[in-house]
Structure 1
Amino acid sequence: MIIRIMGEGQVEVAPDDIAVLNDLDSELEAAIVADNEDEFRTKLHALLDKVRHVGKSLPDESLEPSELILPPADASIEEVREMLTDQGLIPG
Structure 2
Amino acid sequence: MIIRIMGEGQFEVDDTHLTELNRLDDVLGEAIEGGDDDTFRAALGALLAEVRRAGSPVADDALVDSDLVLPYDEAHIDEVRELLTDEGLVPSEPPVT
| TM-score bracket for the superposition, by shorter chain length | over 0.9
Alpha-carbon displacement from aligned partner over 1:47-70 (angstroms, at most 9, x marks no partner): 000000000101001101000000
**2:39 maps to what in 1?**
39
Any residues of structure 2 matched to 1:2-41 within 5 Å, and which? Answer: 2-41=2-41
Q: 1:10-38 CA distances to partner (integer Å, 9 max, x unpaired)?
A: 00000100110000000000000000000
Percent identity over the alignment? Answer: 51
Structure 2 match to 1:82? 82
State the distance in 2 between where 1:74 and 1:21 align.
19
* AA at the equivalent of 1:61: D
Secondary structure class of the residue paired with 1:59 = coil
Amino acid at match of 1:29: G
TM-score by length of 1: 0.99
Q: How many residues align?
A: 92
State the AA in 2 paired with 1:47: L
Moved over 4 A (4+): none
One-letter amino acid of the counterpart of residue 46, structure 2 = A
Compute the RMSD of aligned alpha carbons.
Answer: 0.3
Secondary structure (helix, strand or coil) at the match of 2:35 reads coil
- Any stretches of 5+ residues in structure 1 without a counterpart? none
Query: Deviation of residue 7 (structure 1)?
Result: 0.2
Where does structure 2 lack aligned partners over 5 or more consecutive residues? 93-97
User: Alpha-carbon deviation of 1:71?
Assistant: 0.1
Partners in 2 of 1:81 and 1:20 — Cα distance? 20
